[in-house]
Amino acid sequence: MNRLKNESGQALVLVMMVMLLLLLMGSSMLTQGSESRKQSYEERKMVQAYYIADAGAEKALARIKNDPFWLKEDLAYNTEVRYIGDPDGVLISEPLAYMDGGQITDVTVKRTSVAANPTTFYIKSLGEYQGARRTIEIEGKMYDPVNLPAGVTVNFPSTFSNNTIINSDVISTNDLTFSNNSNISGVITAVGNVMLQNNVSATKVVTGGDLILSNNVQVTMDVEAARDVILYNNVKITGNINAVRNVSLGNNAVITGDVYYNGTLTMGSGALIGEEMLHPGEAHAVNVVPAPFPVLDQDWYARNADRVLTGNLAGSFDVDGISYVAGDISLSGTYSGNGAIVAGGKVTINGDLNRADAGSSLAVISFGNDDGVGIEVSKNITVYALLYCPNKIVIDNNANFHGSVICNVVDVSNNATVTYEDFLQQNQPDWITTGVSITSWKEQYSVF
């Protein structure tokens, strides 16, 4: 009997010890759980503060994108400007309330370069959420909006041939060739050589290389060359000639203006010019410095597209904002609004592309190509658009194009017409072609 009592007492002690151990373990687990929940809550507040700081930085970036000359011209160099943007992009001095208990406390913007393209900048954004504070620092570059010159701008040797009509300026950082009954009513400007041959009519030519005119070419205003001016066979110039080096007047050349040159003068058979019109040693320097070829960022358009296209566009459609397609696309129809269609592949305009009204404007941007051609305007159609392509653009076979063109290479031929339309450029928002590139995006004091 005593043995049973002893064993019963020992069992009771053992049970009490186990219960005490479980109680201690439970208390410890509750404490740890409470601490874990508290830590998780603090981390959540930190994350929310980071998101709010991120939102503040995005607002400043949007201001730079939408108003590039605010950064480039209004902000003093290396001076921080306090900017807290509301949805209308207004500068305000008070923190901007943001979600539950949070606020964009402070956003500053600083321009860190002087009169450059790209313009570099620094942004610092402070976000707060229920006592938690996080700061984001951004460094980046802003590329000036593409202000397409009045007509055609190319980067590599390009040709205009076979009855083409160019009602605009033509600007090149390389060589240009115009041939076979082409007519150019704007100013031709090239860093390299310019050749006009076989019944070409032009208005004015300025070249950083040689100017070669042959076979029934007529220029109605002045010609200027940083090197030689060479005329062959029935060339008529009704303005002045300015050649930094030599002038060669070929057979039956007719010059009604003055001739300025610093090298030698060669006269062919039947060349007509009065002695009093010759000015040896008096040519002025010719410097051709066009704006650099603009650089657009395909990735930016892909990230910031207002809509993603999966097929071709035809009929009537809206173009407000940015429409992006990863591959090739064909376009035709009537568009309304102001915006851009951006393609990672080739763009083919295979039917008339018209604006719905005088206030509408469309930029067509292609980053891809098929056998070197990035944008192709098909034959016998009328197009109103601004074209940009870092590859080749083809306008051919009776196409009637209105707008402006900027590309590496252009091929305009076979009765095609290019006419610059200023209203398309004026209606196009600057932010469509303003490039913003982020070089550094980091937290000022990382806690993770």
Q: What is the pLDDT of residues 167-186, one digit of tens each?
A: 999 999 999 999 999 999 99
Note whether 303 and 428 are same-domain residues: yes
**Within a 13 Å sphere around the CA of 43, how many CA atoms are in the beta-carbon half?**
7
Q: What is the dihedral of CA 321, 325, 328, 331, to 10 degrees?
A: -30
User: Of 280, 313, 334, at which residue does a domain stop?
Assistant: 280
Residue 91 lies in a domain: yes
Local confidence band at 444 (pLDDT 50, 70, 90 cut-offs) = confident
Q: Are residues 323 and 416 in the same domain?
A: yes
Residue 209 confidence (pLDDT)? 98
Are residues 323 and 346 located together in one domain of the fold? yes
Q: Are 285 and 261 in contact (CB under 8 A)?
A: no
Q: What's the CA gap between 448 and 429, in Å, rounded? A: 41
Whether 333 and 233 map to the same domain: the answer is: no
In a domain, 291, yes or no: no
Mean pLDDT along residues 426-438: 85
Q: Which of 274, 246, 250 is nearest to 260 (CA)?
A: 246
Q: What is the pTM of this model?
A: 0.78
In a domain, 157, yes or no: no
Is the sign of the CA dihedral 422, 426, 430, 432 positive or negative?
negative
In a domain, 25, yes or no: no
Banded model confidence at residue 87, pLDDT cuts 50, 70, 90: very low
* pLDDT tens string 321-378: 999 999 999 999 999 999 999 999 999 999 999 999 999 999 999 999 999 999 999 9
Q: Is the peptide bond before 95 cis (omega within 30 degrees of 0)?
A: no
Considering the domain architecture, whether residues 372 and 257 belong to the same structural domain is answered as no
State how far the Cα of 228 lies from the Cα of 175, in Å rounded to an integer: 14
Residue whose tokens read 């063109």: 405
Q: Check whether residue 313 and residue 265 sit in a common domain.
A: no
400 lies in which domain range? Answer: 298-432
In a domain, 3, yes or no: no
DSSP-assigned states of every residue in 31-83: HHHHHHHHHHHHHHHHHHHHHHHHHHHHHHHHHHHH-HHIIIIISPBT--EE-
Is position 292 within any domain?
no
Indicate if 49 and 75 belong to the same structural domain: yes
221 and 319 part of one domain: no
Which of 214, 245, 280 delimits the end of a domain? 280
Q: Is 180 contained in some domain?
A: yes
Do 391 and 326 lie in a common domain?
yes
Out of 280, 311, 330, a domain closes at: 280
Same domain, 78 and 120: yes
Domain tally, the chain: 3
Answer yes or no: is 160 within a domain: no
Mark whether 427 and 440 lie in a shared domain: no
Q: Are residues 71 and 89 in the same domain?
A: yes
